Structure 1
């Protein structure tokens, strides 16, 4: 990502935060009143390290059951799988949220015209923390950090770890309109006796 694009995203996030903080309050437009208004999580990373969230600090417990399938009938091959995960987060005091997510089981089955195989995996454990505050009656900001704990996957021959550090803004534009914005970085590392791979990416969105 170019330096100009990175600077533009930072400027946009700053402008959004200033707009939400400076605008007059709108009746019945509290941005953190109800958890159902948080953005839907659509992570791409296999352990959800990049899942979307709001700037609102919450206490909650969650169970996630996810299934996926890729089937190519003409060539007679396909992949079917699913996972079960438990997660929780708790607010401590007025500005701190701590959380964790554990993938209990991850199953995958693959078949081709000549062979088939299946695998069952466990882990990893992801720890999270958020430091948040209200900018105004209807807008909030938070700094969020997540990290995948190394050696919490069943495959201990390979080291995996990843993490995210991001700034998140949530604000009510009207009684029925909320906006969520984020700017941050995601890093990942995998290593074994054969070598090591590292990745780093910037991300932004609203």
Structure 2
């Protein structure tokens, strides 16, 4: 079993309803369990299931019994499907060792689309995410998903990117194994393509 750099290892997965946040946390949790770790997962939801904030806490240990909630400032990895949600979670949960992988493409809330609210400046938002973390990796997961033919695959693309982080507790092969268990046929093939492109998006930056 691979030694954890931090024990417990705390992972926050965040986005908005409908982006596949819960599936992503289940895939990560399943892969960690397969590796022999103890895993605790908790989810919180915003005002609505689709369009509201969604956050998963994934806590991993070699032998500790864990509560499901991560204390403020103690996340080691943040996986974000939407940049403003990523920033919100970064402000609350990031610490000096936090690594972040996220999609910088905004999903505008209804108030912004109606002209009632204003979405934050994207460059300033990304700069703050980078400043508050040890390392931040923007990955165009939604664009990757559209390239492979299904917008719903953005979460799988980000999981691929996650495996390439220097502190990632799972290898690419660990998560690929879970994908083959979860999906079959054409859906599996599509998700494998999205996953591979997500891996490449971070490995190229690291290289």
| TM-based fold match above 0.5 | no
Q: TM-score if structure 1 supplies the norm length?
A: 0.30
With the length of structure 2 as denominator, give the TM-score of the two structures. Answer: 0.30
Q: When you count helix as a share of all residues, which structure comes out higher?
A: 2
Question: Larger C-alpha radius of gyration, 1 or 2?
Answer: 1
